[in-house]
Structure formats: structure tokens, C-alpha cells
Amino acid sequence: MNYLIAVLPDRIQAEAAYLALEAEGIQSTILGRGYKTADEFGLVDPKDQAQKQARLMSYWLIPFGFFAGFTFSLITGLDTFAWAGEIGNHVVGGLLGAVGGAMGSVFVGGGVGLLVSGDALPYRNRLDMGKYIVVAQVSEAISRQATRILRKFDPENIQGYADTSGT
């Protein structure tokens, strides 16, 4: 299944586009004030996803970092923190490794998710600006027909997406 997304400046044009698509038997949805929200439709908030990914990665990176730091200190025999004693040096090395693991989970898990947000964020921003989005769920065969219908309403942006989730 493919999706065709058109950003329209006001509610009247969004409703007219929806009705035109419906008249041709094309299933569509309106997103915007008074209609479905981005969350109800399933547009993923990239900040939430980034936080979730960072938290998930921290569950295994922090203990791994502690173990790696402890082991590195044990193997090398460094006496970096004389005040801590022999075992204390290894524990401090483990704690420093855990800090490195936490930084890794934030930068890799969360940082990349915030920087590479995909196309959901611009659509969310347009909804926040008071614009409306018409999403048509089409097969590849009627994608061109739906595009022609939506172009009649002079959308700010029109974009097609292929569902690659395998469902």
C-alpha cells in the first residue's frame, strides 16, 4: 500500500480534496485541527522515539561499559587513583566505563534520532502552523489518479510514500 500526502493551507480545501478523493472511491484521511491529530494517525514524534531508543540502549551499554572499564583497569594494572586502593581503582575504572556507556546511549541512541527525524517532523510542524494534511491510502495503480485529483487543489506540498513495513 502507498500513501499520498498533500499539505493544504486551510480546512475548506482539505475537505474539498477529501470529498473529491472519496467521489473516486479513494480512501483518505484529514489531519489537522478538528480532525485526526498526528499521534492518532501514527506520525511518529522523533523526540519521543529518540528518548525511547536512548533508554533502550542504556539498559545494555551502561553495564557493558562498567564491565569493560573494570576489566581494562584489571588487565592493565594501572594505579591511576592512588587514594582508592587496588580494588577501588578497578571500581572507579568501571564507573568511568559506565559513564562512557551512558554517553554512548545518548549520542548514538538519542542523538541520531533527533538529527535524522525523517519526514514526520516537517508534517507535524505544518500541522502546528494550522495547515491541514490529506493522506490518501492508494495502490500503485491509482496513485497517479489521486495525484491528479490532489493537484487541482494547489497543495503546498504533495509527496508519495511506499509502505515498506511488509504488512
Please choose, from the candidates 56, 39, 44, the residue with its C-alpha nearest in 3D space to the C-alpha of residue 110: 56
pTM: 0.56
Picking from 26-40, 58-72, 108-122, 132-146, which range would have the lowest pLDDT averaged per residue? Answer: 108-122
Task: Give the mean model confidence (pLDDT) for residues 35-47.
Answer: 70
Each residue's pLDDT tens digit, 125-165:
788 888 888 888 887 778 888 888 888 888 887 877 776 55
* 131 vs 42: CA distance, rounded Å: 17
DSSP assignment string, 41-78: HT---HHHHHHHHHHHHHHHHHHHHHHHHHHHHHHH--
